[in-house]
C-alpha cells in the first residue's frame, strides 16, 4: 500500500509508504489520501488527522517517474497536475485539525503538504526545501499561498528563489514549524497532541481553524463579524454546555463534537 492508515480513539494516522523513493508520491498515493480525507469529512468519529512518512523521511514531493513526459503533450501534464492538486485543496478545507509529523526530508510538494497541515511537528534531523528552483520548476501544492503566510514575504521569496535546504532549528526560528523535538520523542509528542485534539470540541476547533485561515484575506471588521457569527453558533452547541458543566463540577469535559 502506498498509504498506510490507522484509526485509534478518533485519530486517523496516514503514513506515506514509498520508502524506495523517499516517500515521493504518485497519483495513486494522492488519490488514496484524498479519498481518506473525504471519509474523514463524513465520519464524526474521525476527529484528527496525522500525516507522516515511513522509513525516516516525510515526503520528497512528486515521483518524477510518474509525471507525464513532455512528448505526451501539455494537455496530459495539465490533467496530471489538476488531479494532483485536488489533494492540497481537500487538506486545506478538512474540518478536523491536522498534524504533519515530519522526520527527515520534506521537500518540494512534500514540504507544501506539511505546510498545509494545521500544526507541523518536526525532529531535529528534519530538512525542508522548496526545491523547485533547482529543478527549473515553480511552486505548487499551495506553496505560493502557504509559505508567505507562515514565514513572511521576504523569507518566502528567499526560500522559493534559492531552493535552499534549511534545518529544523531554522524552520522553527522562522515559523515554518510549530515544534522541534528529538527523534526519540516524536511519536510520543504527536500521540499526545493528536489525542488532545481528538478529545477536543470538534465544532469549535473547526470554526477556529477556518477563522484563522480565512482571516488572512479579510479586513479586521470582516474578521470580527465572522468571529461573532461563529461564537454565537458555538455557544449553542452541546459541547459548550458540557464545557460549562465540567468547569462547574471541576472535572474533565467529555466532548462529543455536537
Same domain, 230 and 184: no
Same domain, 244 and 208: yes
pLDDT attached to residue 214: 92
Confidence of residue 257 (pLDDT cuts 50, 70, 90): confident
Three-state DSSP class for residue 35? helix
pLDDT exceeds 90 at position 148 = yes
Does residue 32 lie in a domain region?
yes
Does residue 168 lie in a domain region?
yes
Rounded to the nearest integer, the mean pLDDT of the chain is 94
What is the distance between the alpha carbons of residues 243 and 127, in angstroms, rounded to a whole number? Answer: 40
Same domain, 103 and 28: yes
Cβ contact 251:244 at 8 Å: no
pLDDT attached to residue 213: 92
Give residue-wise pLDDT tens across range 183-223.
999 999 999 999 999 999 999 999 999 999 999 889 999 99
Does residue 179 lie in a domain region?
yes
Does residue 256 lie in a domain region?
no
What is the distance between the alpha carbons of residues 123 and 101, in angstroms, rounded to a whole number? Answer: 9
Same domain, 84 and 212: no
User: 30: how many CB neighbours lie within 10 A of its CB?
Assistant: 24
Does residue 253 lie in a domain region?
no
φ and ψ at residue 135, rounded to 5 degrees: -115, 15
Domain tally for the chain? 2
Same domain, 94 and 181: yes
Does residue 87 lie in a domain region?
yes
Give residue-wise pLDDT tens across range 60-79.
999 888 877 777 778 888 88
Three-state DSSP class for residue 119? strand
Same domain, 118 and 206: no
Same domain, 132 and 47: yes
pLDDT attached to residue 69: 72
Give residue-wise pLDDT tens across range 159-186.
999 999 999 999 999 999 999 999 999 9
pLDDT attached to residue 72: 74
Domain of 15 in residue numbering reads as: 3-198
For residue 79, what is the domain's CATH number? 3.90.226.10
Same domain, 37 and 66: yes
Does residue 67 lie in a domain region?
yes
Amino acid at each position: 500500500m502506498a498509504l498506510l492508515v490507522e484509526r485509534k480513539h478518533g485519530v486517523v494516522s496516514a503514513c506515506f509508504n514509498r520508502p524506495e523513493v523517499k516517500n515521493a508520491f504518485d497519483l495513486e498515493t494522492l488519490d488514496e489520501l484524498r479519498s481518506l480525507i473525504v471519509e474523514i469529512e463524513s465520519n464524526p468519529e474521525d476527529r484528527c488527522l496525522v500525516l507522516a512518512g515511513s522509513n525516516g523521511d516525510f515526503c520528497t514531493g512528486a515521483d518524477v517517474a510518474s509525471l507525464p513526459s513532455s512528448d505526451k503533450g501539455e494537455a496530459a501534464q495539465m490533467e496530471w497536475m489538476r488531479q494532483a492538486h485536488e489533494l492540497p485543496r481537500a487538506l486545506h478545507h478538512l474540518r478536523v485539525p491536522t498534524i504533519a509529523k515530519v522526520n527527515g526530508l520534506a521537500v518540494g510538494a512534500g514540504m507544501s503538504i506539511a505546510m498545509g497541515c494545521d500544526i507541523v511537528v518536526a525532529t531535529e534531523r528534519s530538512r525542508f526545501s522548496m526545491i523547485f528552483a533547482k529543478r527549473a520548476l515553480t511552486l505548487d501544492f499551495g506553496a505560493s499561498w502557504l509559505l508567505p503566510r507562515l514565514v513572511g514575504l521576504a523569507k518566502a521569496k528567499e526560500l522559493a528563489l534559492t531552493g535552499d535546504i534549511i534545518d529544523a532549528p531554522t524552520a522553527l526560528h522562522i515559523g515554518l514549524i510549530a515544534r522541534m523535538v528529538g527523534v526519540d520523542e516524536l511519536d510520543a509528542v504527536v500521540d499526545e497532541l493528536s489525542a488532545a485534539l481528538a478529545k477536543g470540541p470538534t465544532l469549535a476547533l473547526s470554526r477556529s481553524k477556518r477563522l484563522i485561515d480565512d482571516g488572512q484575506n479579510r479586513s479586521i471588521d470582516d474578521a470580527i463579524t465572522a468571529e461573532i457569527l461563529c461564537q454565537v453558533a458555538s455557544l449553542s452547541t452541546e459541547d459548550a454546555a458540557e464545557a460549562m458543566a465540567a468547569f462547574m463540577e471541576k472535572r474533565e469535559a467529555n466532548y462529543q463534537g455536537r
